[in-house]
Amino acid sequence: MARTSAETLADAILLNPANRWDKAFHPYLDWFREQLKAWQELVDIFYGDQIFALQRTVTEISKRFPDKVSNIMQRHFEKNISGMAGGGITTNPYSRNLLCFMTRYGIYGHEPADFAVV
């Protein structure tokens, strides 16, 4: 986010004359706030223990039902989570909603508190 933020800010400065920088910074600040919000959601889910309980649930379901559908679902979910954690799709609405939905409704048989990151 730091590198992308610097590039986005530099573009805002270079594409606008000095007397218009105040207006140029508004879209940058909106972008920056959205980035921070998305990263905070991801960090909260990680440290809120849901991600580990969800991972355990998904692994157990894949072992219990080792078919093509469960493998496709697991790969799809892992692709989205790793893409978010890597910064490539952290703000992607689909990935964010998928993670929110899965951590809210996809954890079965595990208590997130048991996976606490202390």
pLDDT tens figures, 15-70 = 877 787 777 788 888 989 999 999 999 998 888 888 888 888 888 888 888 888 88
pLDDT of amino acid 39: 93
H/E element, 48: none
CA distance 105 to 47: 18
* Cα–Cα nearest to 49, from 103, 108, 113, 104: 113
CA distance 115 to 118: 9
Domain extent at residue 72 = 2-115
Phi, psi of 106, deg, nearest 5: -100, -5
Q: Count up the domains in the chain and report the number.
A: 1
Helix (H, G, I), strand (E, B) or coil at 65: coil
pLDDT of amino acid 118: 66
pLDDT of amino acid 91: 92
pTM of this structure: 0.76
The more confident residue out of 78 and 94 is: 94
Record the tokens describing residue 15, joined without a space.
């594409």
